[in-house]
Amino acid sequence: MQSRFFLTLLLLLPLSACTVTDYKSPPGSAVEPKPGYEVPKPTDEPQPSADVEEASNSYDQLLQRSDVAANDKNYDRALALLERAQRIAPDQGEIYLRLAKVHRSRGEFALARSTAERGLLYCQGKSECGALRRFLR
């Protein structure tokens, strides 16, 4: 028992040397930015990054391709494309509505209904939310 205590003490001893000291610089020695470096000013509106725009483009392309597949009655392909779009933009009510329509076309009525209900959590705007509500009637 006593040897276990000393072993623990020996293991913790090096850690005691790792204390943090609060170093304060002498008065008048404020850190100045390097010459030529400009501090960016915050803006009121966030700027969309290239990744967001690229994701939006691929999201739109997937929706268009899923429409073509659904019109050709290739519901498996339409469903796969919509699921990919959902992974890119999981908070878009429009995707849930389209998924619900494809599920209904496949005869999966309970799944279509639950998908549309989930879409109501993410719908944006009166037309999108209204379309989801109409689907549920």
What average pLDDT does the segment 18-32 reach? 57
Give DSSP secondary structure letters for 3-46: HHHHHHHHHHHHHHT-------PPTT-PPPPPTT--PPPP-SSP
78-94 confidence digits (pLDDT tens)? 999 999 999 999 999 99
The Cα–Cα gap between 61 and 53 comes to 12
Look at residue 68 and tell me if it is in a domain.
Answer: yes
Print the domain residue range for 113. Answer: 62-136
**pLDDT at site 121:** 95
53-112 confidence digits (pLDDT tens)? 566 678 899 999 999 999 999 999 999 999 999 999 999 999 999 999 999 999 999 999
Look at residue 42 and tell me if it is in a domain.
Answer: no
Domain count, the chain: 1
Look at residue 39 and tell me if it is in a domain.
Answer: no
Look at residue 119 and tell me if it is in a domain.
Answer: yes
State whether the Cα torsion 62-68-70-74 is positive or negative: negative
Confidence of residue 8 (pLDDT cuts 50, 70, 90): low
* CATH number of the domain where residue 121 is located: 1.25.40.10
Look at residue 107 and tell me if it is in a domain.
Answer: yes
Confidence of residue 115 (pLDDT cuts 50, 70, 90): very high
Higher local confidence (pLDDT), 42 or 98: 98
